[in-house]
């Protein structure tokens, strides 16, 4: 299934930037990981250079207006290294543009985005009166509401992305149907051993993907022989990214437009999940003794965890994108009293203790010398909240797992139980009968001692009783049920539709409510899922632009056909926001400023600062 | 009116462990017993789950503390932790899958070797609904012709169970057939002498929740309770 690829590979020497033309630039993997890399602090904002395409609009009265349009990249492209700008990437095919009635010309140019102060001043792009009038009429257009140009969004069939491919036994499906379905998926993840044995594929059973795996293995090992490992290649509008981890090959195949480093960190998360199941020494041992081992047996039961991780990336996960965690918003004093109750009840079996509500962190207690790594928490959250296994199991759970960022050589033991999520009930008992609820509360206790279940259960019972007695449980339930903050309450009149705000020092983020346009339930859920992916794709593009090597971009403002967006990075925070296409830069920047002020004021409510330390 | 029925009955907890090959239906049996519910595509258990459920016998109440273990091979080394102090074990196989009975026999042998000597073991053949003698309608769902997915005859398993001195049941977690019966039979089979009273004779509240919190508040539970009895 691998189309004739204009394959490129990049060298093992990551510092050699003199790549021959057909090869994508190399990247320094070592610095790509982690989330704490802080760009050199600069006291004055630099004038950022970004790829902003200017389009000109002609009005019936003869006047013309110009506006910028973001370069929507159909294919994720490796971000240029060595240049201080984002590569002006493939725009939509001009045929599409000609059909779109309002856009008269399309002239890609480079334009300085200006620092924020000058953006606020608003003198940058003065428009004709007619333009202002037109814009003021339609300023309330929401993002992604322009009629879908089909090809343009590249999301055709995304509603069916997660549908299963029927297996061979289902009557009336031919192999051709199955292959066609398989090819229609926008995102694939594959894991195989370097000997070519399939380990995991998100879509399709073994009979379907075996030959593809063979091709992938052949391609990868061809380059490996040349001492020049294959990092990725592009075929048509599909980007292939390859990661080699010891005896394993990880492949991401995406039509969703993520950057290579974003895809690579997704693959890294899948690798972490495998380590979490097996530990590194076990994984190595297996292949040292028998390189042709079928890893599916030892990994049995891990598929659903890999798939829920993969699907969260395909849907678009702000947490994975930002490498940060989301917390439940609580008053400082409330969080304090929860932390204290937690700290008071701990015993010496406890390594880490967490309370989580609806996938958001409520409280963490930890020893002074250890902190929890976001990638480890991502695995735990995925297991508990995304994949159904533990949640549906009921009762209290005792789970051996390896947290690779903490220590990839051994297992820890995790006690998990859920509280009754029903706000009316005030029971502190472990729930045995759980309904799927957004605001369920879990308590997670981690120990290095596999015999400590009853010790940790005792902590849980005491903490639960205390939280129930002092009213904290009710507060947590109410906060979780209240959902994420709505923008009108933060930045009234800002016309911003959605934002992500990451506190870099705390490695945590917050975001505005996805409802109603990008989430929530209703009969138009498939449409919302697509809208949400569009939003996340835009965030991925902004993020990739801002984090491209050697770009010291501070502010990036993009206007596209169906949305306007702004990214703003300082040593303290990263802010990404999205609005309808007609919002002026000035209004957008004012909104961004309001969000920043809000986040600063609310910092101790939005984020866990330090947590309970013992 | 219910006063006499609610008169304090001696209550005791029994630690019970479920063992068996992956996907034979251990978690489904527990879900049926505890919540009277069934899920068509249940995900594999990771590690183990701990649940409690009461079983009312005419003369006493048994509170099961159930360890539902994961059947996947990589968790096998943790099993001793769960059966070590267990008073009862449910060894489950899938009667449509021959390998699962082989695995069940291994578990029985391991229990007989390593677990407490008095442990009550029940051998349970699950997924009876997939066979011709499936509970209720009797019609199997899978095949059209023979309609019987059964691979392990009742005689074969029953003979083995008798030889080893095990309780024996065929169940369906899906329809609920025979599920409570298994647990009741185990409760009845636990020798009086191995039952520890869960609480002192003075306590008379039947509500499990208050009971549990009280016990936890008082810290280590059993020593006190026992001393109370001995006086
Ligand atoms: N038809 C039928 N299916 C059943 C029955 N019991 C369980 N299943 C199905 O069999 C599958 C496995 O059931 P589980 O209860 O998860 O099996 P398990 O023994 O707990 O598996 P592990 O946790 O992996 O050890 C699920 O899809 C269940 O829906 C049954 O009595 N009849
Ligand atoms: Mg199970």
Cβ distance of A301 and B50 shorter than 8 Å:
no
A238 and A1 in contact (C-beta within 8 Å)? no
Report the percent of chain B where pLDDT is more than 70: 75
Q: How far is A172 from chain B (nearest CA, A)?
A: 18
Tell me the residues of A at the B interface, defined by beta carbons under 8 Å apart.
Answer: 277-278, 297-298, 300-301, 304, 383, 387-390, 392-401, 414, 427-429, 432-433, 450-451, 453, 457-458, 461-462, 465
Q: Is B47 in the pocket of ligand 1 (CB under 6 A)?
A: no
Which atom of ligand 1 is closest in space to residue B22's alpha carbon?
25
Q: With a cut of 80, say whether residue B164 has pLDDT above it.
A: yes
Q: From the CA of A98, how far away is ligand 1's center (Å)?
A: 57
CA distance to partner chain A, nearest, from residue B171 (Å): 20
State whether residue B51 sits within 8 Å of chain A by CB. yes
Nearest to A613 by CA among A313, A347, A366: A366
Residues 6 or more apart whose CB falls under 8 angstroms from that of A441 comprise A355, A356, A357, A358, A362, A418, A419, A421, A473, A476, A477, A480
What's the pLDDT at A427? 55
Protein residue closest via CA to atom 8 of ligand 1: B25
Other CB atoms within a 10 A radius of the CB of residue A543 amount to 23
Distances (CA, A) of B122 to A101, A227, A608, B91, B157: 75, 59, 49, 6, 12
Residues of A in contact with B66 (CB under 8 A): 395
User: What confidence score (pLDDT) does residue A128 get?
Assistant: 57
Tell me if the bond preceding A312 is cis, omega within 30° of 0: no
Do residues B198 and B12 make contact, with C-beta atoms less than 8 angstroms apart? yes
In short, whether B44's Cβ falls inside 6 Å of ligand 1 is yes
- CA B63/CA B221 separation, integer angstroms: 15
Residue A252 host element (H or E): strand A248-254
CB distance B94 to ligand 1 below 6 Å: no
Q: How far is A448 from chain B (nearest CA, A)?
A: 14
User: Could you give the count of Cα atoms lying within 13 Å of B178 in the half-sphere of its Cβ?
Assistant: 19
Q: How far is the CA of B174 from the centre of ligand 1 (A)?
A: 9
Residues in Cβ contact with B194 at an 8 Å cutoff, skipping those fewer than 6 apart: B87, B118
Q: Which residues of A38-67 are buried (b: 16+ CB within 10 A; e: fewer)?
A: eeeeeeeeeebbbbbbbbebeeeeeeebeb
CB contact under 8 A, A394 and B42: no
Q: Strand, helix or coil at B27?
A: helix
Q: Which residues are registered as beta bridge partners of A445?
A: A353, A415
pLDDT in tens, B169-218: 999 999 999 999 999 999 999 987 776 654 433 333 333 333 333 333 33
Residue B72 near chain A (CB below 8 Å): yes
The pLDDT tens digits of the residues spanning B113-163 come to: 999 999 999 999 999 999 987 654 444 444 444 568 899 999 999 999 999
What's the whole-number average pLDDT of chain B?
A: 81
A182/A592 Cα distance (integer angstroms):
41
At A289 the pLDDT is: 87
User: Is residue A144 within 8 Å of A564, Cβ to Cβ?
Assistant: no
| Residue of B17, B22, B23 to test ligand 1 pocket, by largest number of atoms within 8 Å of CB | B23
What pLDDT was estimated at residue A308?
92
Q: Whose CA is nearest to atom 3 of ligand 1?
A: B127
- As a whole number of angstroms, the distance between CA A433 and CA A428 comes to 14
Task: Using CB atoms, pick whichever of B27, B51, B212 lies closest to residue A432.
Answer: B51
Instruction: Print burial letters for A579-597: b (CB count within 10 Å at least 16), e (below 16).
Output: bbbbbbbebbbbbbbbbbe
CB B63 within 8 A of CB B54: yes
- The residues that bridge with B64 in the sheet, in sequence order, are B14, B53
Radius of gyration of chain B (CA): 19
Counting Cα atoms < 13 Å in the Cβ hemisphere of B80 gives: 5
Decide: helix, strand or coil at residue B168: strand
Query: Rounded to whole angstroms, how far apart are CA atoms A302 and A288?
Result: 22
What residues of A are in contact with residue B74 (Cβ under 8 Å)?
277-278, 298, 300
* Ligand 1 contact, B129 CB (< 6 A): yes
Q: Whose CA is nearest to atom 27 of ligand 1?
A: B41
In chain A, the residue whose alpha carbon lies closest to the alpha carbon of B49 is A397
Highest mean pLDDT among A41-50, B1-10, B26-35: B26-35
Q: What is the helix (H) or strand (E) element at residue A487, kind and residue range?
A: helix A487-490
Regions of chain A short of the pLDDT cut 70: 1-140, 146-153, 168, 170-171, 392-393, 420-439
Nearest to A119 by CA among A468, A501, A566: A566
Which of A297, A394, A464 to mutate against chain B (most B CBs within 10 Å)?
A394
What's the gap in Å between the CA of A296 and the closest CA on chain B?
12
Task: Please give the interface size between A and B, counted as residue pairs whose CB atoms are below 8 Å apart.
Answer: 90
pLDDT of residue A101: 31
B24 lines ligand 1 (CB under 6 A): yes
* ipTM (interface pTM): 0.80
pLDDT digits (tens, 9 = 90+) for A151-203: 456 787 888 888 888 776 766 777 788 888 888 888 999 999 988 889 999 98
Q: Which residue of A has its CA nearest to B82?
A: A451
Task: Quote the ligand 2 centre to B82 CA distance (angstroms).
Answer: 14
Question: What are the residues whose beta carbons fall under 8 Å from the beta carbon of B14, sequence distance 6 or more?
Answer: B62, B63, B64, B65, B87, B88, B186, B187, B190, B195
Q: What whole-number distance in Å separates Cα of residue A473 and Cα of residue A402?
A: 30
Q: What's the B45 CA to ligand 2 centre distance in angstroms? A: 4
- The DSSP 8-state label assigned to residue B197 in this structure reads B
**Closest CA to ligand 1's atom 6:** B25
Q: Residue A450: which of B66, B81, B216 has the nearest Cβ? A: B81
Comparing alpha-carbon positions, the chain B residue that sits nearest to A416 is B49
CB < 8 Å to B52, chain A: 395, 432
């Amino acid at each position: 299934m691998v189309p004739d690829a204009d394959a490129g590979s990049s060298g093992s020497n990551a510092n050699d930037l003199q790549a021959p033309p057909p090869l994508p630039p190399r990247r320094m993997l070592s610095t790509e990981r982690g989330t704490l890399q802080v760009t050199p602090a600069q006291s004055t904002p630099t004038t950022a250079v970004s790829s902003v395409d200017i389009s000109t609009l002609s009005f019936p009265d003869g006047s013309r207006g110009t506006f910028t349009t973001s370069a929507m990249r159909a294919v994720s492209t490796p971000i240029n290294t060595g240049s201080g700008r984002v590569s002006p990437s493939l725009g939509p095919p001009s045929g599409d543009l000609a059909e779109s009635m309002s856009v008269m010309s399309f002239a890609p140019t480079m334009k300085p985005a200006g620092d924020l102060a000058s953006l606020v001043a608003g003198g940058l792009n003065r428009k004709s009166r007619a333009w202002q009038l037109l814009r003021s009429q339609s300023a309330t257009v929401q993002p992604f509401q322009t009629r879908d140009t089909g090809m343009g969004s590249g999301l055709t069939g995304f509603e069916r992305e997660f549908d299963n491919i029927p297996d061979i036994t289902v009557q009336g499906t031919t192999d051709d149907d199955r292959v066609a379905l398989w090819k229609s998926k926008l995102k694939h993840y594959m894991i195989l051993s370097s000997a070519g044995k399939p380990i995991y594929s998100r879509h399709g059973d073994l009979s379907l993907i075996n030959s593809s795996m063979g091709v992938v293995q052949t391609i990868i090992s061809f380059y490996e022989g040349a001492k020049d490992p294959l990092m990725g290649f592009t075929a048509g509008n599909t980007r292939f990214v390859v990661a080699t981890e010891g005896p394993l090959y990880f492949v991401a195949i995406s039509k969703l437009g993520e950057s290579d480093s974003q895809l690579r960190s997704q693959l890294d998360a899948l690798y972490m999940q495998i380590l979490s199941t097996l530990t590194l020494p076990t994984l190595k041992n297996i292949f040292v003794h028998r390189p042709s081992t079928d890893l599916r047996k030892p990994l049995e039961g891990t598929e659903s965890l890999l798939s829920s991780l993969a699907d969260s990336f395909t849907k678009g996960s702000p947490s994975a994108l930002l490498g940060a965690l989301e917390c439940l918003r609580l008053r400082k004093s409330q969080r304090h009293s929860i932390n204290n109750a937690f700290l008071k009840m701990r015993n010496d079996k406890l390594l880490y203790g967490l309370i989580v509500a609806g996938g958001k962190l409520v409280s963490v207690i930890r020893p002074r010398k250890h902190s929890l790594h976001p990638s480890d928490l991502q695995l735990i959250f995925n297991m508990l909240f995304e994949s159904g296994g533990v949640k549906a199991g009921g009762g209290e759970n005792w789970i051996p797992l390896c947290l690779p960022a903490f220590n990839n050589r051994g297992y820890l033991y995790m006690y998990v139980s859920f509280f009754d999520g029903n706000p009316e009930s005030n029971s502190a008992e472990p729930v045995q009968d759980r309904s799927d609820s957004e605001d369920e509360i879990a308590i997670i206790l981690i120990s290095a001692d596999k015999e400590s279940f009853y010790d940790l259960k005792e902590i849980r019972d005491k903490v639960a009783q205390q939280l129930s007695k002092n009213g904290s449980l009710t507060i947590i339930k109410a906060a979780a049920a209240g959902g994420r903050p709505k923008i009108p309450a933060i930045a009234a009149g800002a016309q911003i539709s959605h934002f992500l705000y990451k506190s870099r020092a705390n490695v945590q983020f917050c975001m505005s409510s996805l409802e109603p346009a990008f989430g929530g339930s209703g009969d138009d859920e498939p449409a919302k899922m697509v809208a949400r992916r569009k939003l996340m794709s835009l965030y991925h593009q902004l993020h990739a632009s801002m984090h491209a090597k050697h770009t010291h971009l501070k502010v990036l403002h993009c206007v596209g056909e169906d949305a306007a967006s702004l990214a703003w990075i300082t040593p303290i925070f990263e802010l990404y926001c999205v609005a309808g296409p007609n919002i002026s830069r000035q209004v957008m920047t004012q909104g961004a400023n309001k969000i920043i002020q809000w986040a600063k004021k609310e910092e101790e409510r939005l984020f866990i600062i330090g947590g309970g330390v013992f | 009116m219910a006063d006499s029925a609610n008169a304090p009955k001696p209550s005791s907890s029994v630690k019970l462990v479920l063992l068996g090959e992956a996907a034979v239906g251990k978690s489904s049996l527990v879900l049926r017993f505890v919540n009277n519910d069934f899920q068509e595509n249940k995900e594999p258990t990771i590690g183990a789950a701990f649940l409690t459920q009461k079983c009312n016998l005419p003369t006493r109440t048994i509170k099961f503390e159930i360890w539902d273990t994961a059947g996947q091979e990589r968790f096998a080394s943790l099993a001793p932790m769960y059966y070590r102090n267990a008073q009862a074990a449910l060894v489950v196989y899938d009667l449509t899958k021959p390998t699962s009975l082989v695995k069940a026999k291994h578990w029985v042998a391991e229990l007989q070797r390593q677990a407490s000597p008095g442990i009550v073991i029940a051998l349970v053949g699950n997924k009876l609904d997939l066979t011709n003698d499936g509970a209720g309608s009797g019609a199997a769902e899978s095949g059209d012709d023979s309609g019987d997915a059964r691979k392990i005859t009742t005689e074969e398993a029953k003979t083995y169970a008798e030889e080893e001195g095990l309780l024996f049941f065929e169940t369906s977690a899906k329809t609920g057939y025979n599920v409570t019966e298994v647990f009741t039979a185990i409760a009845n089979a636990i020798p009086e002498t191995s039952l520890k009273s869960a609480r002192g004779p003075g306590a008379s509240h039947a509500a499990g929740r208050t009971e549990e919190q009280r016990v936890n508040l008082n810290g280590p539970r059993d020593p006190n309770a026992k001393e109370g009895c001995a006086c």
